Chains A and B, each alone.
Chain A
């Protein structure tokens, strides 16, 4: 998101606690977690488009393993653990030829909605 001027309003930034710019204090920023924020992360159309673009970009990678690694690195800066990859690979096999391509998209959505994405420091 690109904001040229602090007076430009953004529903997204307000939702996630942008301060009103009355003071320069970081404490003015709201850090509450609200249901409205989680709804946005679950269902927002603009976020879904960004996830789609990212998944498409990862689709250029050769195999399933590389795609999954790519999505993990892009979103939470690490490779999947053996347990995580085992689960995802199981899903790939279970969904079969026609269904497996949804797995990377569902994974990207899940990572954006995970606690690790927001809170791991």
Chain B
């Protein structure tokens, strides 16, 4: 089996509703489906919610898992579980899948950008790198891709700093930075590391890496196709990062924690995300990158199937981990498939439950990383990539 080269994670932070995404229940009572419908896709028999018309046109590019399931309804525990395959506690903060894959693949990657890039902010309340520490830390871009100039903190100099000014600054630094720690002092080694890191940073800042973030190099037509939204332009940057060779890219997409006025929130979020993800998958396909790039989209859990119409919810859905959906595409995942079936209200799996470990184990496998093998680390921890488990649950039925 060919290994995937890159992974793009579209993290729907907060827990998106399974009913208004990829497990619609048009025949359930209104208290469950809000009176909304499903629409057919270009794959016979495969339906999505009516708020995802663009993804409905290209369902052959992705597959849907409708029976993701675990038992943790708090954001922090559920996120940790979905990202690491383990439960929090025990005094050890484990690295997320992005940190593990980017570290495993960075040997074969020779770009100047770090092998793990997060658009545009970190998940927060959970460290992606865990005990792997600063050398596995992602580049968190900050900034706004949907603006005239996407300023990536650290890589793209702030407005007003021209290449000429940057050059003069480094000339002055060479004069000013004359102090040295005394030989043999504890800081001597740190000073050497500081100089080496500075040289590496200059190579990044002065090389071609910054161009990856320059969306003015894309045509106006392409930028429109992805949608002039944060999600649209972020996924366009994600595609450029994949082309550049970055092994793991995360787009953290907040705003799915719709306790109150769920339908209003979901409709808006779905519309911009639908356009962006459909454009992204089609673009990867057209450029011949989809085969070597795993794309996955989902959150830490789904939402309660029964709608809370009464105040204070006013049509809200709460946290629900028993049954939720996930989208996977490319990198060795087949398109046009549905994994698992939920009951008539999307409340529990009827067939083929998929655990977080089954899911993560599959992504690891497609990237050529043995989920049962040792987790490489400099900290001397003896630990496997995922906790010991059966491999029977991995999503091998949708491997290409």
Give me the interface of A with B, judged by CB distance under 8 Å.
7-9, 11, 14-15, 17, 20, 22-23, 30-40, 42-46, 48-49, 84, 87, 91, 102, 106-107, 109-111, 113-116, 118-121
Contact = CB atoms under 8 A, between A and B. Distances in A.
B153 A45 contact: yes
Interface string B308-321: 00000000000000
Contacts of A113: 173, 177, 198
Nearest to A113: B173
A65 to B, nearest CB: 17
Interface stretch (B179-187, B329-337, B347-355): B179-187
B400 to A, nearest CB: 35
Interface stretch (B21-29, B103-111, B157-165, B268-276): B157-165
B93 A22 contact: yes
Interface residues on B, range: 35 or more
Contacts, number: 142
B220 interface: no
A43 B158 CA distance: 6
Given A35-B197, A115-B194, A42 B134 contact: no
Given A38-B194, A45-B151, A87-B175, 14 more contacts: A32-B193, A33-B190, A33-B197, A35-B197, A35-B204, A37-B197, A38-B198, A39-B204, A107-B176, A110-B175, A110-B176, A113-B198, A114-B179, A115-B195
Interface string B71-107: 0000000000000000000011100000000000000
Interface in B95-136: 114, 121-125, 127, 130, 133-135
Contacts of B123: 9
A121 B181 CA distance: 9
13 contacts: A7-B125, A33-B190, A37-B197, A39-B205, A43-B157, A43-B161, A87-B175, A106-B172, A109-B172, A109-B173, A113-B173, A115-B191, A115-B194
Contact of B153 (A44, A111, A120): A44
A111 to B, nearest CB: 6
B349 to A, nearest CB: 33
Contact of B134 (A32, A84, A110): A32
